[in-house]
Amino acid sequence: MKPSNKALATEDKLSRTVTTILDKAGQEPDPAVLQRLQQAREQALGRFDERIRQPAGHGERLALWLLRHTQALRRSMLALSFAMVAGTGVWLAEGLLVEEEAVDAAILSHELPLEVLMDPHFSGSMHD
């Protein structure tokens, strides 16, 4: 689809305006403009100071409460996750130790002497 002549004219005018603005050397603002800017800044700072002195509204308090409790909930969930992972690791390690102790107790309480159980040909002769 070809752009219309009106769109081309608008685009050309815009590019010429931008080029003209960029080609001009920077000028110091007029003192009247500087004074209006200073007044606007002072008014904005005054409104900001007034707003800060006012008590927080219900919406702001609710948002702050929600933010604090959401952060606390995230930290709690992180701590709980870490505790669960650590607890699971300890539980598994304890289970392995109990199994190892049971095997040690079974070997030591067996009727055969320990040297016979350690003989490499002992298990082979058992199967034959």
Tens of pLDDT along 30-67? 888 889 989 999 999 999 999 888 888 888 889 989 99
* DSSP string computed for 1-17: -PPPHHHHHHHHHHHHH
Residue 110's pLDDT is 72
Place of tokens 């002769």: 125
Low-confidence ranges of the chain (pLDDT < 50): 1, 127-128
Beta-carbon contacts of residue 94 (< 8 Å; ≥ 6 apart): none
3-class state of residue 28 by DSSP: coil
Q: Which two tokens stand for residue 42?
A: 């002072």
Residue 128's pLDDT is 45
Beta-carbon contacts of residue 108 (< 8 Å; ≥ 6 apart): 114
